[in-house]
Amino acid sequence: MRIGVRQPRAKALLARLFQAGLQAVDPYEAVRRQVRIRRDQLIIGSHHYSLAPIQRIVVVGAGKASGRMAQALEHQLGARIDTGLVVVKYGHGAPTHTIRIVEAGHPIPDTAGLEGGRMIMEMVQTLTSADLLIVLLSGGASSLIPAPVAGITLKDKQQTTKLLLRSGATIQEINAVRKHLSSIKGGQLAAATSARVASVILSDVIGNDLGTIGSGPTAPDATRFQDAWDIVERYGVSRKIPLSVRRHLESGLKQGVPETPKPRAKLFRRVENILIGDNRAAVDAVAETAQRQGLHTLVLATTLTGEARELAKFFGAMAREIAAEGRPIRRPCCVIAGGEPTVTIRGEGKGGRAQEFALAAAAEVAGLPEVWVAGFATDGTDGPTSVAGAVVDGRTVVRAQRKKLNLAKALQANDAHPFFEALHGHIVTGPTGTNVNDLYLLLAL
């Protein structure tokens, strides 16, 4: 990991903190920690499954991290796994033995994903109540296993996905629509099988709504056709979506097609949705490590939203309060927050949420000694860039002036990336293999 900080202690501390956060949500490590066989029991998180009566254990799944999850599951369960198939994004494969890995398109679904989804549905339909279906779910699953209902083609689904992704709708809203065009999302994977279902989930959704992560193939769907319709109307795409999609939604409104399974459906009595990693786990690991390093530690939140540059102002105000008054926490300290702020893009520049946060924070902490503020995307790619984030301190503004970099202009143009490139302020990890949104840190030594 490369951290763009000169002061050796701050540099070492930040590296250690981010590494601890990543390790806590590494998909391979998380599965190995949470899934194990002890005597005649399969233990997943806090759930125990008696192995003797289970006939077959079949594994399916989808998501960017699901290949690594499959690899770890094989390591833990070995020959107990009968067969399996997991769909990952192109380039996200992992070496497995029993569980087949299929690579497919993301964020726009493609034929490989369609075929993957079809094979998964076929597999789960053959299972009986004596079998256990383990589902490995992580971010990206919605696009990776498209299974459009009859009458909607892959092309229709691709077009609809593009429109929704560009519309400004939240992931909760996008997935509410996708669940109502699919035969696998919104609890329907669980409904398609008679087996007991254990869904092992790495969350990339703020607040961990099980119905939203990967469009909740094994979770009850609290949304209805009416919600899906309201969303396409609200974001102005109801007239742009393909006719087949509009007809299907309209038919759903008139109860012409069945709803997805709802929270009180009986089928969920044989389903467990088990979270094995989320933003909170990363934040907690950072906090524990900070404490062990002798820092006073304060966790602010794990569900941050809102404009990144506004969040930076808040971090700036807090840094000044710590420097002047020793509150809300005394030095040496580390303040930690997790979540996924947004950036309303107005300029033509290059950047990401974490870099824009850091850029705005530089102006806020200007002049403060021994203070660092960092934004960090846990997947290692902040926005459409190849860096994880950036870090600033009380002298960033002066250094920028010396290099004739205009901070205000860069912020106005959403152009944080070249700014930090010139100042060597980036945090670089390469792809981390996990994704639990972002971490935001303030260090005052």
Ligand X SMILES: O=C(O)[C@H](O)CO
Residue 214 binding target from ligand X, ligand ATP, none, CB below 5 to 8 Å by type: ligand X
User: For residues 435 and 64, what is the distance between their CA atoms, to the nearest angstrom?
Assistant: 9
- Give helix 154-167 / helix 243-253 axis angle, nearest 10°: 80
Least distance from C-beta 106 to ligand ATP, angstroms? 9
User: For residues 12 and 437, what is the distance between their CA atoms, to the nearest angstrom?
Assistant: 23
Which string of DSSP letters, residue by residue, matches 333-400?
Answer: EEEEEEE--B----SS----HHHHHHHHHHHHTTT-TTEEEEEEETTS--SSSSS-EEEEETTHHHHH
**Contact indicator for 88, 144 with CB cutoff of 8 Å:** yes
Q: Number of residues in contact with ligand X, rule: CB under 6 A?
A: 11
| Complex with ligand ATP: residue 139 or 425, whichever CB lies closer | 139
**Contact indicator for 63, 214 with CB cutoff of 8 Å:** yes
| Complex with ligand X: residue 175 or 244, whichever CB lies closer | 175
Termini Cα distance of the chain? 21
User: For residues 423 and 395, what is the distance between their CA atoms, to the nearest angstrom?
Assistant: 11
**Contact indicator for 415, 350 with CB cutoff of 8 Å:** yes
Residue 356 binding target from ligand X, ligand ATP, none, CB below 5 to 8 Å by type: ligand ATP
Residue 364 binding target from ligand ATP, ligand X, none, CB below 5 to 8 Å by type: none
Among 104, 213, 359, 400, binds ligand X (CB under 6 A): 213
- Name the DSSP letter for residue 148: B
| Complex with ligand ATP: residue 89 or 248, whichever CB lies closer | 89
Q: Does 84 bind ligand X (CB under 6 A)?
A: no
Q: Which residues bind ligand ATP (CB under 6 A)?
A: 139, 204, 342-343, 345, 349-353, 356, 379, 381, 383-384, 414, 416, 435
| Residue nearest ligand X by beta-carbon distance | 142
Site for ligand X, residues 215 to 234, rule: CB under 6 A: 215
The stretch near ligand X (CB under 6 A) out of 84-92, 207-215, 283-291, 409-417 is 207-215
User: For residues 128 and 289, what is the distance between their CA atoms, to the nearest angstrom?
Assistant: 45
Least distance from C-beta 274 to ligand X, angstroms? 16
User: CB-side exposure of 382: number of CA atoms within 13 Å?
Assistant: 35
Residue with tokens 């989930």: 201
Least distance from C-beta 364 to ligand X, angstroms? 31
The stretch near ligand X (CB under 6 A) out of 121-129, 210-218, 285-293, 396-404 is 210-218
- Name the DSSP letter for residue 439: E
Least distance from C-beta 342 to ligand X, angstroms? 15
Least distance from C-beta 138 to ligand X, angstroms? 8
| Complex with ligand ATP: residue 156 or 356, whichever CB lies closer | 356
| Complex with ligand X: residue 107 or 430, whichever CB lies closer | 107
Q: Does 27 bind ligand X (CB under 6 A)?
A: no
Residue 104 binding target from ligand ATP, ligand X, none, CB below 5 to 8 Å by type: none
Cβ neighbourhood burial of 408 (10 Å; 0-12, 13-18, 19+): exposed
Q: Does residue 95 have a cis bond before it (omega within 30 degrees)?
A: no
Q: Does 214 bind ligand X (CB under 6 A)?
A: yes
Least distance from C-beta 352 to ligand ATP, angstroms? 5
Least distance from C-beta 434 to ligand ATP, angstroms? 10
Q: How many CB atoms lie within 10 A of CB 195?
A: 25
Least distance from C-beta 425 to ligand ATP, angstroms? 15
Least distance from C-beta 203 to ligand X, angstroms? 7
Largest CA distance in the chain: 71
Site for ligand X, residues 126 to 155, rule: CB under 6 A: 139-142
Residues binding ligand X (CB under 6 A): 139-142, 171, 175, 204-205, 213-215
